[in-house]
A and B are shown apart, each in its own frame.
Chain A
C-alpha cells in the first residue's frame, strides 16, 4: 500500500524559524539512557529537528533533578550542558542553572557561566520561591550581564512543591528588579489566573512550555499580554517538541504574532553572543 501524507506533514511543520526557549537534557528527564553529553545532545537536537526547531535553549537540573541541589550539583549540571553545547554548537544555547539557597555562590556561578563559558541565560527552578531574597544576587547579576532569567512557575491544584513559585512570585521578582529580562515558564501551568497576575508586569514574558496542548491558551496569552510577551518553549524531553509547537502553529494568530512567538521575542531577550537575530522583515 502506498500513501502520501505530505499534506498532513506540512500542517505540523513550521514555515518560520523556531527557537525553543525551554528544554532539558534527555539524561535529566528520559525517556532513554544516554551515555554522554554528546549523545544526549544528538537525541535532543534530533527530536527538535524532526519538529522543525532550529535552536534550543537547554538547562540541566542534574541527574534525578533534586529540587534543592547543592552548589556542586548545579555546577556539574552546568558543565554537562556546556558539553552538550560543544557537541551541537549550531543548535544549543546553554542556560546556567543555580539555586537561591546559595545566593552568593549562585551569583558567582552565573558570572562564570556567562562571562567565561558564553552561556546565554539563567534557569531557576524550585529550590526557593521567586519571592525569596536569595534570588536577589542572582537577579542583580543577570540584569548586569544582560541575560534573561527563565523562572519556573506553576499554579497547581495538587502537587505544588514547597519552593515552587506561583505566577505571582514571578511578578514579585519582576517588580523588585524592573531591569531584569524575566521569562515565567509554563503558560499552561500559569493558567488564566496566573496570566492576570503577570499582566501588569510589562517586563515579564511567559513561555509556552509544558502542560497539555490546551486549546486557546496561546490565544489567551496573546490577548491578555500581547504577542511580544509570549515565547515558544516545549519543556522537551518531558513533552514532545512537535506537540508543543502545535500549540502555536494551531493557534488562531496572525503571521506576525506567530513569527514573534516562535523566534523574534526570544531573539530580543537573548544576549548578542547568542547570535540569534530577529527574522528579517519581521515585526
Chain B
C-alpha cells in the first residue's frame, strides 16, 4: 500500500520558524510512513507572480523521487498558459490555485480550468492556508468560497478538481457535488472535529476523500490521526492512497 500526501508545502511561511525546507518536509513525511508528497511552494502564495516559486519545485522533484510536484498557478498572471504548459511538460501531478491569496474570485479561473481540463491536468484549489484567527494582523486573507469552487467543477465534467484545505462543515455542505461529480475530490488536511472523517464517509464521500497533511504548517502525524482512528483498514487505505492513485492516474 502506498500512502500519498496530496497537499503539502515547502517554505518558511510567515508566522514563525518552520521545518519547511524541501528535505525537511519530505524526510518528516517519510518518517511517518508517507511514501509520496504532493508539494507546492508555500512562500509563493505571497509573491506578486506566484509562478516564480515553481522552478525550485521542479528542481526538488528532479532530486527527490518522493516528491510529486504541484506548481502554483495564478490565472490573473498574463502568462498562466505558459506555466500550465510547463506543468504538463514537467509532468506535474496537479497544479494548485490559491485564489484568496492572489485576490481573485474562483470564477476568474474558468479559462485556466478549461485549459487544465483539456490537458488532462488535475487542479487543486486551496480554500484555506491558515486559520483567520491566527493570521498576522497585517496579512489577513479570507477563506475561498467552497461552494463557488464546487460550482466551477460542475461546469467541467472531465476536470479533476480537489478542494484543498476545506473544513468538515464546508465539505458536508457540498457533499452532493462531491458525490455526483466524478472528477471532484476533497483533501482532509483541515477537516477537523469529532468523528470528522467518519461523518464524511457516512455522507457517501469515501471514494472522494484524500489524505493530506498541510505540512509543514501542520505536523504530518496529524494527517494520519485524522484518518486512522475513524476507519477500518480497507477504507483507510482508500483514503491514504487509493483515491489519490485514481485521481492522479498513477
Binding site for B on A (CB under 8 A): 1-5, 7-9, 11-12, 26, 30-32, 43-44, 47, 50-51, 154, 156-159, 188-189, 191-192, 211-216, 220, 236-243, 245-247, 249-251
Residues from chain A with a CB closer than 8 A to the CB of B199 are: 31
A31 touches B195 (CB 8 A): yes
Flag the segment in B63-71, B81-89, B127-135, B148-156 that touches A.
B127-135
Q: A7-B33, A157-B136 are in contact. Are A247 and B219 (CB under 8 A)?
A: yes
Main secondary structure on B side of the interface with A: loop
Total number of B residues with any Cβ neighbor in A under 8 Å: 43
Cα separation A105 to B240 with both chains bound (whole Å): 52
Residues from chain A with a CB closer than 8 A to the CB of B240 are: 5, 8
Residues from chain A with a CB closer than 8 A to the CB of B182 are: none
Other than A31-B193, A216-B19, give 14 A-B pairs with Cβ distance below 8 A.
A4-B233, A7-B33, A12-B224, A30-B194, A31-B195, A51-B229, A157-B136, A158-B132, A213-B225, A214-B217, A215-B219, A216-B17, A238-B194, A247-B222
Q: Which 3 A-B pairs have the closest CB atoms?
A: A250-B221, A237-B194, A213-B222
Binding site for A on B (CB under 8 A): 1, 3, 16-19, 32-33, 131-137, 140, 168, 190, 192-196, 199, 215-222, 224-226, 228-230, 233-234, 236-237, 240
Q: A31-B199, A239-B192 are in contact. Are A157 and B228 (CB under 8 A)?
A: no
A215 touches B18 (CB 8 A): yes
A188 touches B134 (CB 8 A): yes
Cα separation A5 to B34 with both chains bound (whole Å): 12
Cα separation A9 to B192 with both chains bound (whole Å): 18
Residues from chain A with a CB closer than 8 A to the CB of B219 are: 213-215, 246-247, 250-251
A216 touches B18 (CB 8 A): yes
B234 touches A3 (CB 8 A): yes
17 A-B interface contacts by CB (under 8 A): A3-B233, A5-B237, A8-B3, A11-B224, A31-B194, A31-B195, A154-B133, A157-B133, A157-B137, A188-B134, A214-B219, A215-B19, A237-B193, A239-B193, A240-B192, A240-B194, A246-B224
Q: A1-B234, A8-B228, A250-B222 are in contact. Are A243 and B192 (CB under 8 A)?
A: yes
Contact of B33 among A11, A26, A191, A246 (CB under 8 A): A11
Q: How far is the CB of B235 from chain A (nearest CB, A)?
A: 10
B237 touches A3 (CB 8 A): yes
A243 touches B133 (CB 8 A): no
